[in-house]
């Protein structure tokens, strides 16, 4: 993507985040929101930050298992360092985290195809695990809402994720006339992505880590709700927070800001949570994530790869938004 196009995309993301936040705040009592933010129990706030920090280790474990399934050796400490740095850049630059993760992994001698494939596979497995968590909560969600459009959208996402997984797992059994009609590079790329799904060694650990990641996010939001004395039950958090995670994952805002807040207000309204409380939970969740991201900034300051970081290296990493070679 050319620099002018990148700048326009960045401006559009800022516009989405700021626009949604302005719309939400216009309908809120700002003094009440401020009071909620200041009144949160500090022990619950610290616990939420701790949960999100622990999540980085689980994320790192999932990614390393994916790399190993692709026959790419990466020690645990460098992998965690790369992940923490990418978390920091995700907070300060739109989509910057993945570009830095690609560049740092390349500094460790990993080739382009497995580098990009590991990140795409990581994202896909994350969405697949999230879809399973959402599917588990569907019976309760159906009882909470009569909005057909919401249920249709959720079922559409779950179905698409499951069909995508099935397509990858059965790729080598497709008719040859179908696979030959597809670009050869796309088929090779898909074969790399599916390796972690078929790996027998570490499959249980990979599945467990993938599913536990959205559950940690649920737990962090539930803890914040307790800290704000919002009447959010554990069951409602399990059913509704994954929908917020899904909404904020759309790459159309800065760090999920705006999307997360709008989705949180809408989702928690199904559990009878007032809009100001839901907004406070979402803002505190974002601030907790920002705190973890700043820890990644400290890791970046001492990372050995930082000595080789240049604007040209950043531009090279950024070009990997295109189809992999």
Residue 36 lies in a domain: no
pTM for this structure? 0.86
Q: How many CB atoms lie within 10 A of CB 202?
A: 16
Residue 202 lies in a domain: yes
Residue 259 lies in a domain: yes
The span from the CA of 325 to the CA of 320, in Å, is 9
Residue 7 lies in a domain: no
Give counts: helices (H), strands (E), the chain.
Answer: 15, 0
**Nearest-CA neighbor of 169 among 191, 202, 185, 187?**
191
Q: How many CB atoms lie within 10 A of CB 231?
A: 12
Which of 18-22, 112-116, 312-316 bottoms out in mean pLDDT, i.e. has the lowest?
312-316
Residue 46 lies in a domain: no
Structural domain span for residue 301: 59-317
**CB contact set of 83 (below 8 Å; sequence gap of 6+):** 56, 59, 60, 63, 101
Q: Find the mean pLDDT for residues 295-310.
A: 81
Q: Find the mean pLDDT for residues 259-285.
A: 91
pLDDT number for residue 113: 79
The span from the CA of 197 to the CA of 63, in Å, is 13
Q: Is residue 177 over pLDDT 60?
A: yes
The span from the CA of 211 to the CA of 136, in Å, is 12
Which of 23-27, 63-67, 158-162 bottoms out in mean pLDDT, i.e. has the lowest?
23-27
The span from the CA of 63 to the CA of 44, in Å, is 29
Residues of the chain above pLDDT 70, percent: 90
* 273-283 as b/e: b if 16+ CB within 10 A: bbbbbbbbbbb
Residue 27 lies in a domain: no
pLDDT number for residue 317: 47
Residue 196 lies in a domain: yes
Of these ranges, 83-87, 103-107, 193-197, the one predicted with the greatest mean pLDDT is: 83-87
Q: How many domains does the chain have?
A: 1
The span from the CA of 157 to the CA of 3, in Å, is 32
The span from the CA of 30 to the CA of 255, in Å, is 23
Q: Is residue 324 over pLDDT 50?
A: no
DSSP codes of every residue in 284-295 = HHHHHHHHHHHH
Look over the chain and give the mean of its residue pLDDT values, rounded to a whole number.
84
Q: What is the pLDDT of residues 235-266, one digit of tens each?
A: 999 999 999 999 888 777 777 888 898 999 99
């Amino acid at each position: 993507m050319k620099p002018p196009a990148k700048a326009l995309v960045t401006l559009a993301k800022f516009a989405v985040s700021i626009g949604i936040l302005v719309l939400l705040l216009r309908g809120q009592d700002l003094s009440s929101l401020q009071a909620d933010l200041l009144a949160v129990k500090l022990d619950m706030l610290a616990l939420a930050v701790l949960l999100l920090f622990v999540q980085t280790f689980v994320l790192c474990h999932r990614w390393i298992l994916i790399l190993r399934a692709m026959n790419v050796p990466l020690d645990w400490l460098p992998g965690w360092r790369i992940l923490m740095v990418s978390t920091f850049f995700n907070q300060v630059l739109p989509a910057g985290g993945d570009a830095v993760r690609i560049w740092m992994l390349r500094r460790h001698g990993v080739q382009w195809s497995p580098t990009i494939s590991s990140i795409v596979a990581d994202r896909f497995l994350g969405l697949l695990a999230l879809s399973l968590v959402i599917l588990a909560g569907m019976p309760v969600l159906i009882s909470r809402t009569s909005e057909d459009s919401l249920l249709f959208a959720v079922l559409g996402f779950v179905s698409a994720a499951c069909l995508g997984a099935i397509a990858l797992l059965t790729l080598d059994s497709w008719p040859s006339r179908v696979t030959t009609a597809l670009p050869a590079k796309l088929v090779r790329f898909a074969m790399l992505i599916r390796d972690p799904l078929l790996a027998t060694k570490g499959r249980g650990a990979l599945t467990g880590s993938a599913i536990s990641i959205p559950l940690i996010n649920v737990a962090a939001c539930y803890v914040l709700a307790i800290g704000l004395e919002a009447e959010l039950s554990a069951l409602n958090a399990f059913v509704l927070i994954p929908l917020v995670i899904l909404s904020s994952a759309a790459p159309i805002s800065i760090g999920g800001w705006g999307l997360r807040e709008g989705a949180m207000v809408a989702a928690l309204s199904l559990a009878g949570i007032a809009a100001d409380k839901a907004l406070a939970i979402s803002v505190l969740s974002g601030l907790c994530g920002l705190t973890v991201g700043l820890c990644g900034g400290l890791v970046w300051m001492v990372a050995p790869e930082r000595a080789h970081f240049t604007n040209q290296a950043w531009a090279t990493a950024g070009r990997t938004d295109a189809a992999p070679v």
